[in-house]
Amino acid sequence: MITPVHEKDGAVPAFRKALSSIASATALAMGLGLGAASPAYAASCPSSAEPTFRGAKAEWVLSCSRGRLKVYGWVEDTLPDGRSALVDVWPSGGHHWKLVEADGVGERTNFDFEFPGTTSASVKLRLSR
């Protein structure tokens, strides 16, 4: 037989509040963990990002001038794991994507791309397979 729990001295509400906090923290951590594997940013200019995760870090800026999108920054391989750190740049407007690679722990590769007629792009940091 199940005995109903009655609220006494706020014990049940406090327990529910603690359980809710734990669930929220777990969901946040899982979301951050999933996103850290491959941060992607769809952005319009002006904007910037500094993603980092185990094995790779990068920094980039999107800016616009005279009808052209400029995407510039760097990518760095941070772990001797045999994998390269990569940045993919996918501009809107039908332009071809660009790939930047840093291969070897401590290697940093700079990049600077311009795309006419667009003001947005999706930029993604990832590791090679």
Taking alpha carbons only, the member of 124, 16, 2 closest to residue 71 is 124
Q: What is the mean pLDDT of residues 18-44?
A: 46
- Asked if pLDDT for residue 53 goes beyond 60, the answer is yes
- Asked if pLDDT for residue 74 goes beyond 90, the answer is yes
Q: What is the mean pLDDT of residues 12-37?
A: 38
pLDDT given for residue 89 in this prediction = 96
Token pair 């990049």: residue = 111
- Asked if pLDDT for residue 60 goes beyond 80, the answer is yes
pLDDT given for residue 72 in this prediction = 98
CB 55 within 8 A of CB 79: yes
Separation CA 59–CA 52 (nearest Å) = 9
Taking alpha carbons only, the member of 109, 67, 60, 64 closest to residue 84 is 109
- Report the predicted TM-score, pTM, of the whole model to 2 decimal places: 0.69
What contacts 45, CB < 8 A, 6 or more positions away? 62, 63, 64, 69, 70, 119, 120
